[in-house]
Each structure stands twice: as structure tokens, then as C-alpha cells.
Chains A and B, each alone.
Chain A
Amino acid sequence: MNARYLGRKVLLLVPVLFAVSALSFLLLNLLPGDPAIAILGPSATEQSVAALRHDLDLDQPLPVRYVRWMGHTVTGDLGRSYVSNQPTVEAVRQRLPVTLELLLLSQLLALALAIPLALLAASKPNGLLDRASTSTAFAFLAIPNFMLGVLLIYLFAVRVHLFPATGYTPFHDHPIENLRAMALPAVTLGVAELAVYLRLLRSDLIATLQQDYITMAQAKGMSRNHILLRHALRPSAFSLVTAAGLNLGRLIGGAFVVEYLFALPGIGSLTVESIFKRDYIVVQGTVLLVAVGYVLANFAVDVLYGVLDPRVRHARATA
């Protein structure tokens, strides 16, 4: 990986991040209704509404508001919640670890199972394992998150008391309790991703295994495992990396349904709660977080393409 390639990528990131922030700012300004009235309620006096509008800069023209908001944002100030008076940054900081842990655990679980299963399935297409894993994958894809979550809660929390049904314990308070609480949500979230990853990697692997250089590796007397891991896996990983990157970006915004179902205090539930409370400032903050998360995840994917395939690296460095 050369520095020039990375440098170009980072430079390209700056305007994209600006555009994304502007769009998320605009989006919330397009919502119908006056946020000040929404915050104060229908019985508010005209004076108090005007005062709040002034407080929120709502009486200023849009470009001025954007510049002021941007100024605050880059200094790490996303405003305060009008419901709890808590700074948005603080609320996000509290909720983000839960979401990140859920993201990390579910993706690790999905990848740790999908990669070996795909390798095994692709090494014998239409074999027993391939067909079994294909049908299981489609079954899991067909089950909606909330169904699977409820089912898992019923089986492993209600019938067998293996895991708590809901609730969250911070990791630094009690690591084992924390992992027990995260197990069912992570499985619920990971299973559908597992199915997608498995299908993507399997079909790319099968295509790669038809390549001449795989026959060549066979002719060199390399073992099946060596060929799968050393020769076939890397050139087959593009779709997988793309899908995983998109999921990463999506899940930074929290998995609303799963967080809600398991009563996890993550970014997803923060956003939903704030929307219901019309807590416009906090929603603006989480939307920005999701948008930036997406951009950064895609940046990581782009860099990974270069790691996976030297041709991408050289083509872009010399272009």
C-alpha cells in the first residue's frame, strides 16, 4: 500500500464529507412544521416561540444557519437536546459503544462463519454441504429480524434461561454479563448478514475456481486447502468486502429493530426516541453520524480493494 494512493483517497474524502453534512442539515430543514412549535407544544405563546426561534437561529436565512451549525459541528458541538437539555455529543457518546459492540459482534459472527462455510461449499459445488448451506441461508434471509429476535428470546431466554431477554450491562462493569446480554441481539443481527456473505463469497469463489491460474496451482501440486486460501480467497473477496462495508455504514446508525426488541440503549433507539419526541437537534446529530459513518465505511472498502488487488492499486496510483 503506497502513501500516495492513500493520500489521494483521503483528500477526496474532504469534499464528500462536506457535501454529506450539508445534505443532512438540509434534509431536516425540509421537514414540515416549525421545530420551535414542535418543541414548545401547541399551547406556547407567540413570544416564547419567537424567543426559541431566535435561540435556535431559526430566524436567520438558511446559508447563515448552515455556516453557524457547521462551525459548531467542527468544534464538536452538536447542540443540546430540548427535551433533556443533554448535549447531543454526550448522548451519542453514551449510546455509541452499545451500537459499535453490537455491530462488531454481529459482523464478526457473520464473517467467521460465512468465510469457512463458503470455502467448503465452493470447493464442492452442489455437494451436500453446499446445498444444505444454501437452503439454510435462504431460510435465514426469509425470516425478518424481529421474528428471529422474538423466537430467540422465547427459546433461549424464556424456555431455557441461558441469556437475558432484554437489558444491557456496560462491558467495563461486568464483561461476562455484557457478552451474555449482547449474544442474542448479535445473533439476530448476524444471521441475515451471514446468509448474504455466504452466498456472495460462494458464488465468487466458484467463478474464481474456474480460472486458469487455479488449474495452474493444481498442476503445481498445491493442496486443495492451500489453493482455496492462498489462491482463490483474495481475488474472490470483492463482493464480500463491498457488502460488509455497506453493512458497516448502515449499522453505525444503529439497528433500530434489534435495539428496540432487546431494549439496548444504542444509537438506533436514541434516534427513534428523539424522532418521537421531536427532538430535532439530536436527530440532526445522529443523521450526521450515520452519514459520516457511511462515507468512512466506503472509504475503508475502497482502500481494501487496493489491498486485495494490486492492479487496482497501480492503476489508481498512476492514473
Chain B
Amino acid sequence: MKPVLLDVAGLSTTFPTGRGPLIALDDVSLSLDRGRTLGLVGESGSGKTVLARSIMGLLPAHAHRQGHVWFEGQDLAALSPRDLRDIWGREIAMVFQDPMTSLNPVMKVGRQITESLRHHLRMGKDEARTAAVDLLDSVGIPEPKRRADEYPHQLSGGMRQRVTIAIALACWPKLLLADEPTTALDVTVQSQILDLLQAKQAERSMAMILVTHDLGVVAGRTNEIAVMYAGRIVERADTATLFAETRMPYTESLLASIPRVERPSHTRLQAIAGRPPDLVTRPGGCRFAPRCPYAQPRCAEEEPPLLPAPTPGHTFACWYPVGTPAGDEALARNTASNEASNKAADRAADGR
């Protein structure tokens, strides 16, 4: 039997800082099979991008990575930079966040595609050129022949992101890492780019990890979703399960912050109070506890492990999960004590 396409085991990445090591990624494990899509969701600074980069091994020199990244049974973490370069672009490709900065400004668009083709697939000059024009055509760029001879600054943002997708797809990778591919784009272009990625993924039955801070983006487009918080995966499930049986309060908060069409207009969006924890001086216990409406004394003391839920494939890390008796009770207790303290505050204000 073929090994699973991607199996990440105990992956941690730390960056040394003046104040001590910053643990950007803390003991993350996940696996992804061929042709499947995984949405990686979380706030800024939750470690999504670091996870995508750590899977590739594309980290700055001072970063320290531990753990294993099994790709088709081969541990990428153990490969030399030279061997890794044969994987990058060829087996695993990446689409970056900002197409304004991720294309080389002094190189023609066509050249930026053909260089991978010539390097990895050993294509000749003319063959690569034809393939590049076909690729530009396939990602929906009009007049691909003319566009291939243009420089990035002559293209719009959406066009540029189409070009970076063409570059990523050039060598038929088995895994595509799309790191917030629409964050830097106009809203009108965002869904076009996501549709394009989805179409290409299905057409090539390629596996894809779609990194985003927007649960709405991954809702209809991925098989599975992993929610990250402060460098850890806190909940993971099939997309439908995650939305139907949300267990982790952080996921619930993220869901509450998506605008919904079916809600009455002028419904307030729920922002998540507070800020993600400092990853250098992180307190013990559950990382979300300080912002969590369900938090109990236990949450500040013990970190909940990522444990399986009754539904197969669903895991979450929470002592008082949403939608369970324990969770309901915790929420009720917090609401009651909040009301009590509010009343006390009101009385104090009246008394003055």
C-alpha cells in the first residue's frame, strides 16, 4: 500500500528572539491524502503560515524546526537542501499571499514559468515556452502569448496571482500549499482566484492546503478543516462536521465572526475579545482560556490535549467543549457570575 501523501508528526518551529525562543509552531501533527483539500484556519499569528513553510522546510536560516514531515514515506525534515530543491516546485508547490511582491519585477512573466519547467522537467527552450503559454491560458489569462512577454508590473493584482498559480502548477505538483492566496486581492477577484484553485485541484486531483484567516473561504471548498490557535491545532474535522458539531470555543468564536446572509441585516458581528497570547512568554494551561467565554479554573492550569470526538476524524482540544453538558454548564456559570459582577458594579455606581 502506498504511504499517505503527507504525514506531519510532532512538528515544532521556534525562532530565537531577544526575549527567548518564540514557539511559532508547537507539536503539530496532521495528515493529508492524495487529492484531498485541507483548510488551515486561524487568526494572524496563529502559526498557519509557519506550518505551511515548515512543511516545505522553507524557513529562514535562524529558525529551528523539530519533528517529521513524511511526504510519500520520505521524511522531508531529514533531506539535504539539495534534495529538498528537487521536491520544491516539482512535488510540492506554493502560492504566496501577495502577488505584488512574489513575482520578480525585472523578469518577464513567461521566463518565471519556464525556469521551473526547464530546471525540473528538463524541457527545451521552445517546449517550455509553449508549455508556459498553455499554462497561462489554463489559469484564465487572456492573450497568453502577449502576456508571457510582459513584466509583472504590467498586470493587475488578480492577473498576477493567476500567474503565480500557473508557476505553482507548472510541474504538476502532488501537493499545493496556498498561503492566504486572496488576502491581498480585491474582494471581487477573491472568489475568482479561489474558484480557479478549486478547479485546478479537482482537475489534477492534487492535494491542497488552503491557508486562510477566513472560515467563510474554506466553508464550501475543502474536505477538511484544521483550526489553529497560538501555534497548535485546536480542532480538526471534516468540513461539514466542523460546522455542524463545533466543539472548540475558539472555532465557535471564529464562526460567529463571519457575516451571514441569512441573519437579519444590521446583526452585530461578534469580534473575539482580547488578543492571541505572546508566544515567547506563554502562560500554562489552555492558550485560549484568557479570551474564552467557557473558561474555568482548570483551563488556566492544565492544557487540554487534542483528543478524538465521537464522530470519526473529528478531534479537538477543550475541557468544556461547546454543545456538551460540561460546556453548557461552564458557559452558564460564567454568564451568571458575569451578571452578578455587572450588578455589583451597577450598585457600586449607584451608591456614589
A223 surroundings in chain B (CB, below 8 A): 85
A218 surroundings in chain B (CB, below 8 A): 58, 88
Cβ-defined contact, B106 with A222, below 8 A = no
- Interface code B256-288, partner A: CB below 8 Å = 1, 0 otherwise? 000000000000000000000000000000000
B94 surroundings in chain A (CB, below 8 A): 216, 219
Residue B115 CB within 8 A of the other chain: yes
Cβ-defined contact, A309 with B105, below 8 A = yes
Q: Provided the pairs A219-B58, A220-B115 are in contact, do residues A311 and B105 lie with their beta carbons within 8 angstroms?
A: yes
The CA of A310 and the CA of B153, in the complex, are separated in Å by 9
Stretch at the interface among B11-19, B95-103, B246-254, B340-348: B95-103
Contact of B151 among A215, A219, A226, A310 (CB under 8 A): A310
Cβ-defined contact, B106 with A215, below 8 A = no
Query: Separation in Å of the B273 CB from the closest CB of chain A?
Result: 33
A221 surroundings in chain B (CB, below 8 A): 85-90, 116, 119-120
Residue A93 CB within 8 A of the other chain: no
Residue B156 CB within 8 A of the other chain: no
A212 surroundings in chain B (CB, below 8 A): 96, 98, 101-102
The CA of A231 and the CA of B103, in the complex, are separated in Å by 10
Cβ-defined contact, A219 with B89, below 8 A = yes
Measured as residues with beta carbon below 8 angstroms from the partner, the interface class of chain B is 20 to 34
B115 surroundings in chain A (CB, below 8 A): 220, 222, 226, 230
A216 surroundings in chain B (CB, below 8 A): 94, 96, 102-104, 164, 167
Residue A234 CB within 8 A of the other chain: yes
Q: Which residue of A lies closest to B87 (CB)?
A: A221
Contact of B106 among A217, A220, A226, A308 (CB under 8 A): A308
Residue B336 CB within 8 A of the other chain: no
A167 surroundings in chain B (CB, below 8 A): none
Q: Is the interface of A mostly helix, strand, loop or mixed?
A: helix
The CA of A219 and the CA of B87, in the complex, are separated in Å by 9
Interface size on A, residues (CB 8 A): 22
- Interface code A164-202, partner B: CB below 8 Å = 1, 0 otherwise? 000000000000000000000000000000000000000
Query: Separation in Å of the B103 CB from the closest CB of chain A?
Result: 6
Residue A314 CB within 8 A of the other chain: yes
Residue B93 CB within 8 A of the other chain: yes
Q: Which residue of A lies closest to B103 (CB)?
A: A213
A226 surroundings in chain B (CB, below 8 A): 115, 119
Query: Separation in Å of the B179 CB from the closest CB of chain A?
Result: 10
B105 surroundings in chain A (CB, below 8 A): 213, 235, 309-311
Query: Separation in Å of the B298 CB from the closest CB of chain A?
Result: 42
Query: Separation in Å of the B181 CB from the closest CB of chain A?
Result: 13
Cβ-defined contact, A213 with B104, below 8 A = yes
Query: Separation in Å of the B81 CB from the closest CB of chain A?
Result: 8
Cβ-defined contact, B107 with A215, below 8 A = no
Residue B56 CB within 8 A of the other chain: yes
Query: Separation in Å of the B279 CB from the closest CB of chain A?
Result: 22
Residue B338 CB within 8 A of the other chain: no
The CA of A234 and the CA of B105, in the complex, are separated in Å by 10
The CA of A223 and the CA of B120, in the complex, are separated in Å by 11
Query: Separation in Å of the B51 CB from the closest CB of chain A?
Result: 15
The CA of A230 and the CA of B114, in the complex, are separated in Å by 13
The CA of A88 and the CA of B165, in the complex, are separated in Å by 64
The CA of A308 and the CA of B105, in the complex, are separated in Å by 10
Question: Please, could you name 8 A-B residue pairs with CB atoms under 8 Å apart, sorted by A?
Answer: A211-B101, A213-B103, A215-B96, A219-B96, A221-B85, A235-B105, A309-B106, A311-B151
**What would 14 more interface pairs be, CB under 8 Å, given A220-B89, A220-B116, A221-B85?**
A216-B94, A216-B104, A216-B164, A216-B167, A219-B96, A221-B89, A222-B89, A231-B104, A231-B107, A235-B104, A235-B105, A309-B106, A310-B153, A314-B151
Q: Which residues of B are at the interface with A, using a C-beta cutoff of 8 A?
A: 56, 58, 85-90, 93-94, 96, 98, 101-107, 115-116, 119-120, 151, 153-154, 164, 167
Q: Which residues of A are at the interface with B, using a C-beta cutoff of 8 A?
A: 211-213, 215-223, 226, 230-231, 234-235, 308-311, 314
Per CB-CB distance, the 4 closest pairs between chain A and chain B, nearest first, are: A221-B89, A221-B88, A220-B89, A212-B101
